[in-house]
Structure 1
Amino acid sequence: MCTEIVFATGEDEAELQALFTGYGMGLAGDIEEHVLVKSDNKVLAGAMLAQLDTNFFHLLVFAVNEAGRNTGIGSQLLQEMINNPEKYCQNSFDSNDSLYKVTTVAKGDAVRFYEKNGFVACDFSELAEPYDEQCLECPDKEDCKPVAMIIECHKYIV
């Protein structure tokens, strides 16, 4: 299967929205800010990463469609995004800092996926605003079982 990682376009909006809706999520911003794994023009996975500070990123949404599950597509996308975060943020700004963090909130069983990819559970207070409080008042919190997750990374500056 030949896949590519690309930024989404308007043509991808309905398919990506349907993918996220299946996980109880929606688009996290403009369609062009989302990153996709595509194969034969079909969306297999989608995500959006936001840069919050020179060395701090937050993964807002992440989903893999049924055909892409258990194929490594999700891990491929996640690893590419956390290893090259500035590349996958539309409005990124460079940093000469070699240490950076990526955070996210995992729902239920997704915790294992993030752990497999190097994330560890952390306290919600380690997330940037407003993500540190996003689950406090949520009526679905008991069913969702949200877990704040973090990974610290080093990039090699040449």
Structure 2
Amino acid sequence: MKAKTMEAVCRRATESDIEVLSELIAGYAEKGIMLPRSRETLKRQIDTFVVAEVGPEVVGCGSLTRLGADLVEIRSLGISEGYKGLGIGSKLVDQLIHEAKEQHIPKIMALTYEVRFFEKNGFVVVNKEIFPEKVWTDCINCPKQHACDEIAVLKMLD
């Protein structure tokens, strides 16, 4: 089973990935653990996404959204059923961290239910109120805005 991890390759997403990204994100959104993204939004933001492939199949995704001059957020991080627990999520996070470093952004954050996963990848739990950029751009429109149960995590990049 671990052989799948070795075969997973991360790359920047392209427009040909929109359908599979839409399906993957919708599966998480239906469970209430990820915000939905329309195909139109995915098309507009495709340059912010990375995907993980095993062979020709896209099995995971994540995106990086700039929240300020010194802060980006990992969003829409998900792995297809049957591929979880194989290190693919960590490969995606590594790729997103690499992208943030290329943009000279020193801080990367996420809102998550999977705190242990992010801690394993070098993030620390922080108070989400330290991210007014996030609160005013996204949280203001979120249905969970007054009862948010996600945990904020942060990693300082060197």
* Fold equivalence (TM over 0.5): yes
CA distance in 1, matches of 2:22, 2:141: 24
Q: The residue matched to 1:70 in structure 2 has which SS?
A: coil
Instruction: Name 1:124's counterpart in structure 2.
Output: 128
Instruction: Name 1:104's counterpart in structure 2.
Output: 110
Check 1:141–1:57 CA distance in 2 against 1; reply closer, same or farther (3 A cut): closer
Deviations 1:94-146 (A, max 9, x none): x4xxx81101111x3x12211221111112222251x1354467434688621
TM-score, normalised to structure 1, is 0.75
CA distance in 2, matches of 1:144, 1:66: 26
Count of paired positions: 142
CA distance in 2, matches of 1:69, 1:152: 26
Verify the 8 A CA contact 1:44 1:67 in the aligned structure 2. no
In structure 1, stretches of 5+ residues that fail to align are none
State the identity as a percent. 25
Deviations 1:74-106 (A, max 9, x none): 01211232244245xxxx4xx4xxx81101111
Instruction: Name 2:20's counterpart in structure 1.
Output: 15
- Quick check: which one's helix share is greater? 2
Verify the 8 A CA contact 2:66 2:72 in the aligned structure 1. yes
CA distance in 2, matches of 1:103, 1:123: 11
Verify the 8 A CA contact 2:10 2:91 in the aligned structure 1. no
Instruction: Name 2:36's counterpart in structure 1.
Output: 26
The code of the aligned residue for 1:18 comes to E
Aligned-pair distance for 1:26? 3.1
CA distance in 1, matches of 2:68, 2:142: 26
The code of the aligned residue for 1:132 comes to V
In structure 2, stretches of 5+ residues that fail to align are 30-34
Instruction: Name 2:88's counterpart in structure 1.
Output: 73
Verify the 8 A CA contact 2:11 2:51 in the aligned structure 1. yes
Verify the 8 A CA contact 2:64 2:72 in the aligned structure 1. yes
TM-score, normalised to structure 2, is 0.75
Aligned-pair distance for 1:30? 2.2
Aligned-pair distance for 1:33? 2.5
Check 1:43–1:142 CA distance in 2 against 1; reply closer, same or farther (3 A cut): farther
Aligned equivalent of 2:59, options 24, 39, 44? 44
Check 1:73–1:100 CA distance in 2 against 1; reply closer, same or farther (3 A cut): same
Q: The residue matched to 1:30 in structure 2 has which SS?
A: helix
Aligned equivalent of 1:149, options 149, 153, 157? 153
Check 1:41–1:26 CA distance in 2 against 1; reply closer, same or farther (3 A cut): farther
| Two-structure CA RMSD over aligned residues (Å) | 2.6
